[in-house]
A = this chain, B = another copy of it.
Amino acid sequence: MSRDDRRLAPIGVFDSGLGGLTVLRAIRALLPHESFLYLGDTARVPYGNKSAATVVRYSLENAAFLMRHHVKAIVVACNTSSALALKDLTQAVAVPIIGMIAPGAARAVAMSRHQRIGIIGTTATIASRAYEHAIHALAPGTTVDSVACPLFVPLVEEGWLDTPATTMIAGQYLEALPSRDLDTLILGCTHYPLLQQVIHRILPRSLPLIDTGEAAAAELHQVLASADLLAPPATLARDRICVTDATPHLPRIAEQLFAAPLSPAEIVSVD
């Protein structure tokens, strides 16, 4: 493929389900001329309470699907996959791979004034300690507090973004954090930006929340620019949304997460 053709190739984005659409939204805002191929593994969602071996296997299958469609880069729009499978993905594919952890950690370290960072994420992401390692590699003296919030993904997938039960569950999870001492909180799951309102009802409104999708979008921009792979400004962008299962409520939840109309999802097989 010529360099011109490569510049016009789509960017691949995958997630365990639909949460990665919050990442696609952030990238789309920053890179309006790029085309995207989004893959949501809705047949096997969620990843956040599965074992590392299974998350790695599913992530490699997703990346192979995107590579068969000749993407020029892959965004792992799932914190669990990023935490557990980034090394295997980087070894398996020959295009740039952008995960959520390093950009999210870098942004948190830059925002943090007193080196006291909190992290919320899935059970698997928190257990991996991937954020802690990334933060300590950049700022060794930082105090890191983390808590897993396993019910947040099902709540978002059901559209319970701001119900009394959601607030109660968030209260129970977040009380494990030393909230008055924290100066930055990483939303370490691509579903969580939709719960910002509930989270800010419990934690101080002044506490900055890091959207890892926004951080990853900035990283992707930089990687494509330095590899001379950005689409030319006049390019007409095209998006394809693929999912592995036509789950109920898919169009409604997808548009809620993307915060804009989306083309209908195609059903594909990756396994």
Contacts and interface: CB of A to CB of B under 8 A. Distances in A.
A168 interface: yes
A127 interface: yes
Q: Which of A165, A172, A244, A271 has the most CB of B within 10 A?
A: A165
A158 B150 contact: yes
A113 interface: no
A252 interface: no
Interface residues on A, range: 20 to 34
A121 B61 CA distance: 32
A51 B246 contact: yes
Interface stretch (A21-29, A42-50, A87-95, A201-209): A42-50
Contact of A245 (B54, B157, B246, B248): B54
Contacts of A172: 163, 165
Contacts of A157: 49
Interface in A170-193: 172
Contacts of A141: none
Interface of A: 42-44, 49-51, 53-54, 123-124, 127, 150-151, 154-155, 157-158, 160, 163-165, 168-169, 172, 244-248, 271
Top-9 shortest CB links A-B: A154-B154, A54-B245, A165-B168, A51-B246, A165-B169, A43-B54, A51-B245, A50-B245, A44-B44
